[in-house]
Amino acid sequence: MKTLRWIAPVLALVLLITPGCILTSGQITIEFELGVITVTSSTSIESEDVDLNTISEYADHKSDLKGLADVAALGSFVNLGPDVGVELWMTPALTAYTTEALLKADATAKMLWGPFNVPTATTKTVDWDESARLFSAAGKAALITEVTGDGIFTVYAIGNVGVYSFRVDNGSLVLVLDAAQ
Amino acid sequence: MKRAVAVALLFLAFGVGVAQAGGGKIGIGAYGGLSIPIIQDDTGGGTIFGARVPLRFIPVVTLEPFYASSSLKDVEESFASGTYTRSGFDETAFGVNAILGSISGGGMKFYPFGGFGSYKLTREGSEDLKETGWDFGLGLGIPAGSSLSIQIRGEIDMIVTGDTSRKFGNVTAGLNYNFPMGGGGGSAKEQSAASATAPPTASSAAPGSPTPAAGAATGAAVAADSAGAAGQNAAETPAAAPAADATPAPTETPEIAPSGDKPSGGQK
């Protein structure tokens, strides 16, 4: 059993040469509840302020965050008007726009997610896999910036057609944080 | 991907050739077990299966190209909006491990190993993740016949994703088959030779006859064999003078007793 005496030094060498942040890292899921978002038209939209610092897992690992491993927007979408594709937008700063025009006029506003198509008079629940697919690359990049920044931003839900009316019940933003010490 | 596979096949072919030419050892094995994600909330655990080809050119290290595939379970999480399911990853990997020492032959063997490879993680709703990964762990080889061995291993796989990694703990059991090699030597020869690279002619030489030394260790073994054989020959033929004794035996003349007694001593 000559190799037995080599086991400890070999393992020690592996631990020494492996960067610590790669060795001590993990993927942690957090949820921010968006509640109910009601949008009756393009001129009557609602905003939801997000403060990730209110979530203990985020606050505890904030200094260790390196990125986002996965992200999803979940909830039940109730269509109260014609067929619509629902989109989620965000502004890095806390804002309170009431119309789609004002929101899109903000140069910092970015589309995070969508469109999630909901037929007229239908309630549709988005599943996790599909929701993850609906996030745009630019949207993920913007979220990563927020997650690794101050963790405070504003989220909006709007339609991708001229006339729309819908409600998001039990909405939540699910983030899988990449953390490493 | 195609280039990596071609390089791996080239390495494998080269390794087999070198192992055969140099009297090394080559085997093939299949394994299966459990793959458990470590600090990963968004994927479940699952089963892992794979194949590997241990190649031993020198006594100190065994190189082992491998291929592995695992299917990880979905995870269910409860949120304010209800219970949702996230698909688990399907993982494929191929690479090479370096094992300290031999993993078969002789008795039970513990061994450390480490390696690297190309890992691919795929699942619904996410882009495929293709990254370099590292693995290290401990193994136990248990003989199961002249050419077979059971390999039990525990290892950690780390798939590097930027500044972090996705880590999996794998526990596997497998069966290895060692191909018989002309110059490879079985367990008895391996245990008796001072060096595993000793040429086969040393052990197949007739007892007592001198053989050229292939190396310092081999020369010592051969010298020991020759001395032992010489001693054995001396015991079997007591009339012959010992090979190391260059002094001729003195010739004794029988005494002639005046009384006619029989002579004592003398030549036999």
Could you read off the pLDDT of B100-109 as tens digits, one per residue? 988 877 789 8
pLDDT-wise least confident of A21-30, B70-79, B194-203: B194-203
What is the spatial distance between Cα B29 and Cα B19, in angstroms, rounded to a whole number?
17
Distance, in Å, from the CA atom of B179 to the CA atom of B177, rounded to the nearest integer, reads: 6
Mean pLDDT over the full length of chain A = 90
Instruction: State whether residue B116 sits within 8 Å of chain A by CB.
Output: no
Which has the minimum average pLDDT: B7-16, B18-27, B147-156, B237-246?
B237-246
The better pLDDT of the pair B233, B178 is held by B178
pLDDT at residue B262 is higher than 60 = no
Closest chain B residue to A7 measured between Cα atoms?
A: B112
Percentage of chain A exceeding pLDDT 90: 80
Q: What is the pLDDT of residue A153?
A: 97
B42 close contact with A: CB closer than 8 A: yes
In angstroms, the CA A156 to CA A165 distance is 14
Higher pLDDT, B18 or B255: B18
B211-250 residues labelled b (16+ CB within 10 A) or e (exposed) = beebeeebbebbeebbeebeeeeeeeeeeeeeeeeeeeee
What confidence score (pLDDT) does residue B59 get? 83
B221 pLDDT more than 70: no
Residue A17, chain B, CB below 8 Å: the answer is no
Is the pLDDT higher at A3 or at B90? B90
- Whether residue B6 is predicted with pLDDT greater than 90 in this model: the reply is no
pLDDT at A51 over 70: yes
**Cβ–Cβ contact A76 with B under 8 A:** yes
In this predicted model, which residue has the larger pLDDT, B209 or A11?
Answer: A11
Q: Judge residue A5's burial from the number of C-beta atoms within 10 Å of its C-beta, 0-12 exposed, 13-18 middle, 19 or more buried.
A: exposed
Residues B247 and B151: their CA atoms lie apart, in Å, by 59
Average pLDDT over residues A25-46: 94
Lowest mean pLDDT, pick from A118-122, A177-181, B30-34, B114-118: A177-181
In the chain, the amino acid numbered B99 is I
- Chain B CB contacts of A4 below 8 Å: 110
Q: What single letter denotes the amino acid at residue B245? A: D
Rounded to a whole number of angstroms, the distance from the CA of B43 to the nearest CA of chain A is 10
Mean pLDDT of A13-42: 80
How far CA B148 is from CA of B22, B152, B155, B197, in Å, comes to 22, 13, 22, 22
Write out the two tokens for B102.
């031999």
- Identify the band that residue B25 occupies on the pLDDT scale cut at 50, 70 and 90: confident
- Please name the residues between 124 and 153 in chain B that touch chain A, using a CB distance below 8 Å: 124-126, 134, 136, 138
pLDDT above 90 for A132: yes
Reduce the DSSP state of residue A140 to 3 states and report it: helix
The tokens 């016949």 sit on which residue? B145
What's the pLDDT score for residue B104?
Answer: 74
| B158 in contact with A, Cβ within 8 Å | yes
Q: What is the pLDDT of residue B146?
A: 87
Q: Residues of A numbered 107-126 whose beta carbons fall under 8 angstroms of chain B's beta carbons: which are they?
A: 125
ipTM: 0.85
- On the question of pLDDT at B227 being above 90, the answer is no
Q: Is the pLDDT reported for residue A16 higher than 90?
A: no
Average pLDDT across chain B, whole number: 74
How far is C-alpha A152 from the chain's CA centre? 12
Contact A139, A112 (CB under 8 A): yes
Q: How confident is the model at residue B4 (pLDDT cuts 50, 70, 90)?
A: low
What is the predicted pLDDT for the residue at B251? 47
